[in-house]
Structure 1
Amino acid sequence: MTPITRDQVPSLRRGFRLQWEPVQNCHVLLYPEGMIKLNDSAAEILQLIDGTRAVETIIAQLDERFPNVPGLDEDVLAFIEVAHAQHWLQLH
């Protein structure tokens, strides 16, 4: 996996859409071949990925919402790396 840098700007890949799914009682990532059920942490991160915010800004906003969470920045970077490797995200 290629390391993610804090100045990169992630966005959902074409064909992917994040939405709340009442039947599943969670956020899901929809794509043409299916659906990915997300845990709360993944959903919080993906809700901030809009193609305009840099990773550093996403981390800062999550840190404001969830202060004093140890390792939050490493967790966000790791999630974005995995999501990128799974082809959910593209990076600019």
Structure 2
Amino acid sequence: MNKFLEKYEEERKAGRNQYESLGFAAAQIAVRGTYDDLLIVYNYQWDDLYEEAIDYIGRLKQSPRVTAEEFAMKDSGHKLSDFE
């Protein structure tokens, strides 16, 4: 793994999102890297984003389904039975 990918991974582990991490790595590439280094980190960032999206979709599929009314009631702190 090159030093710019290491910087990207370091920032991700620090809790930053993919775009912020790419920005930190890109700033280093601008000073000490090449266009090819930027492409490597950029492609890695998109793979990271894709994996996170797949995980998110998987979690959505596992979560219980609620209707719009149930969501609105939950958001307001009420239950549907409060209005029946």
Q: Normalised by the size of structure 1, how large is the TM-score?
A: 0.35
Kindly indicate which of the two structures has a greater share of residues assigned to helix: 2
Higher relative contact order (CA 8 A, sep 6+): 1
Kindly indicate which of the two structures has a greater share of residues assigned to strand: 1
Q: Larger Rg: 1 or 2? A: 2
Q: Normalised by the size of structure 2, how large is the TM-score?
A: 0.37
